[in-house]
Amino acid sequence: MSDFPAILPSAATLRNRLQMRHLRLALALAEHRSLRRAAAQMSLSQPAVTKALHELEGMVGTLLFTRHARGIEPTVFGEALIRYARVVLADLDALHDEFAAIAAGEVGKVRLGSILAPVPSVLSGAIHALKERYPRLNIVMHVDTSDVLVQALRQDALDVMIGRIPEGTLADDLAFEPLFEETLAIVARAGHPQARRRSVKLATLVSYPWIIPPAATPMWQIIDQTFRDNRVALPEDMIETSSIMATLPLLAGSDRIAVVPSAIADYFASLGALAVLPVAMRGRMVPYGIVVRRRRAATPAMRLLIDAVRAAQSGNSCELTESLSLPAK
């Protein structure tokens, strides 16, 4: 059997012939990389598992796993099947959770992933409004970088993502709705020697130690361009991190300077934890927005959350009130 089938099965063939046991088999083989151990997990004999795998490979017309002395390894087609098997079975878990939520009189559950910047400026308001109207709506929130969130979304570990699709990522399976172009701010601890000055030059700040995001992040390009525009060399003493939870204590205990998203800077400045220094950062980052899987039907909980985020971003409380109304039962 060729690794690359001459004729791929049609979508109708997959819908009609592919069964849940095939998907469970693919995941068991992916986890254990052994026919014997996969058979034990599924409470089947090894010949039965071997037969089922041959049946599955015959259906798709190609090898899904290669056999060797140490066990089995998925081919590129096997990896694709494993990825979609995870999504399908995770969707069934989500269906069960939604059934249980409906039976308990709840709106449902939504798993939200977000980059940090929208949390204080957009998501906090959206979530407060949702929970005020639907206190039993179960919101599970995860904050991370966009690359991590996109992977989680594709693996069905998230329902909705607020962030960016990383540059160079193939995104035919994702739908993106832009929300906001993010700006950056230069910050320091509230008692920093430069914190009370009305005018500060970037050249003056270079003498201080800095905290900046890693060079691979979108923020780095704006920082680098700002230094170039001002004809100022990058600081010699730098710590690289994208974590605000690492940045805050590092700033609090020193005279370091940091670059963070403006929404984060404004939020922590309002709490007295940071001072925003009056140095302009030219340029805006690629917009962040709402990201969902194209082929995933939105649940009522997902629609409520997305509408709430849109309304919170626009700042229109009337729109928020209207958008949160569920259809009458």
146 and 189, same domain (yes or no): no
Kindly give the pairing relationship between strand 109-114 and strand 160-163.
Answer: parallel
Q: Report pLDDT for 3.
A: 53
Structure tokens at 309: 């985020």
Structural domain contains residue 100: no
Task: Give residue 315's pLDDT band: very low, low, confident or very high (50, 70, 90).
Answer: confident
229 and 296, same domain (yes or no): no
Structural domain contains residue 47: yes
Kindly report which listed range (30-44, 74-88, 186-200, 315-329) carries the lowest average pLDDT score: 315-329
Q: What is the pLDDT of residues 276-288, one digit of tens each?
A: 999 888 777 889 9
- The CATH number of whichever domain residue 256 belongs to comes to 3.40.190.290
Structural domain contains residue 193: yes
Long-range contacts of 8-15 (CB under 8 A, 24+ apart): 8/60, 8/61, 9/59, 9/60, 9/61, 13/59, 14/59, 14/60
171 and 236, same domain (yes or no): no
Domain boundary among 52, 86, 120: 86
161 and 205, same domain (yes or no): no
Q: Report pLDDT for 316.
A: 42
Q: In the predicted model, what is the mean pLDDT of the chain?
A: 85
Please determine, for residue 87, whether its predicted confidence score (pLDDT) is greater than 70: yes
Q: What is the pLDDT of residues 233-249, one digit of tens each?
A: 999 899 999 888 899 99
Domain that holds residue 54: 11-86
Structural domain contains residue 91: no
191 and 163, same domain (yes or no): no
Structural domain contains residue 94: no
Task: Give residue 320's pLDDT band: very low, low, confident or very high (50, 70, 90).
Answer: very low
Whole-model pTM? 0.63
Q: Report pLDDT for 102.
A: 65
Q: What is the pLDDT of residues 247-268, one digit of tens each?
A: 999 999 899 999 999 999 999 9
Please determine, for residue 210, whether its predicted confidence score (pLDDT) is greater than 90: yes
What's the residue count for the chain? 329
| Rounded distance between C-alpha atoms, residue 51 and residue 81, angstroms | 18
Amino acid at 310: R
Structural domain contains residue 71: yes
| Rounded distance between C-alpha atoms, residue 27 and residue 33, angstroms | 10
189 and 266, same domain (yes or no): yes
Q: What is the pLDDT of residues 151-205, one digit of tens each?
A: 999 988 999 999 999 887 788 899 999 998 888 999 999 999 999 888 899 999 9
Structural domain contains residue 296: yes
- The CATH number of whichever domain residue 17 belongs to comes to 1.10.10.10
Please determine, for residue 325, whether its predicted confidence score (pLDDT) is greater than 60: no
Structural domain contains residue 5: no
Please determine, for residue 318, whether its predicted confidence score (pLDDT) is greater than 60: no
43 and 175, same domain (yes or no): no
Average pLDDT estimate for 38-45: 90
- The CATH number of whichever domain residue 139 belongs to comes to 3.40.190.10
Average pLDDT estimate for 108-129: 92
216 and 242, same domain (yes or no): yes
118 and 146, same domain (yes or no): yes
Instruction: Please state the domain count of the chain.
Output: 3
